[in-house]
Structure 1
């Protein structure tokens, strides 16, 4: 089943080039596996773009970058004097510095059910249907790093319909009330992605959950396949 985070390395390279100069004097913050985007692929892309160094916080990450013969600083904190630190804005995660999102998080519908009004949904029935409607089950959950605080809050796009996570997020799945009975198993579900395609963004999630966007992407687990189209 589909659990994928599509990472646009071209967007990351272009964002670096457009937000800081000269890039050899910049240090990119790649802590937390490059905020969930993938340490080595992102480091390669930024090296190609001309970024001069990287900030990580784990010995293992420093060793992985050192194996590629790239410059690295192993510490937590600001860039050294005279260098510009590039952080969440590289990935579209900083609402104060709007940049294009670099990640598109996608799951798929694994079941569809028509239900009557007043049907309780998921654990504890924190959501009840207000009318006869269609519920879809999506194969992503808190075991994948989807924050449980997103329950009943976060927007998602199911096919052509934008709804929201309905009821409590379970370990391996969550439910969306889509209203329209046209959904089918196998339909794509975009949790966040490109607003130009009518998809919610990670900043939309951050607003809905009242957490910082880097928290959302950094928590995504290994069951989610990272792809670099």
Structure 2
């Protein structure tokens, strides 16, 4: 089992400078804590995507147009997906999301990272001492190249565009765009056809098959 990634070796692409890697590490730590706080604040009358405590909470992580289809497992599925993409960033940088829910989680990391750059810069501009222990300079963080490194496409972004509400159920348009069921709520956890791993653990019905021996 690989050791836990640190802020120095997190997201270790050659394309990313040390400040950007440290910033992503800090972002993931904060995002997990912020979403956990929203989960703790939920009850029978208030779902996680209705709490809106954090700068980028469940209300932002999941498409608002499809909330009518969410159930008690939706937030759980997202947190599992977030765990998966954080693990990939720390241990297998270059491994892309395996399903739409993981794409949502990766999107959340990047969006929260952009917000965090502004938050940290405001601290520095105010003359207050940095509260973050990574020691990185938010002014040196470069997020521009990351989407190309972590996404095979940006189809999931269509679910966050109000003018495209309902696109996941438009079979004719989906056929034109070459989409399957990956944008439908029921397909968010289904591994992509070209996924390099088995996708989201909530879709696993059996243990992984052992690898074949060299002799078959």
TM-score grouping bracket, smaller chain normalisation: under 0.3
Give the structure with the larger helix fraction. 2
Using the size of structure 1 for normalisation, the TM-score is 0.25
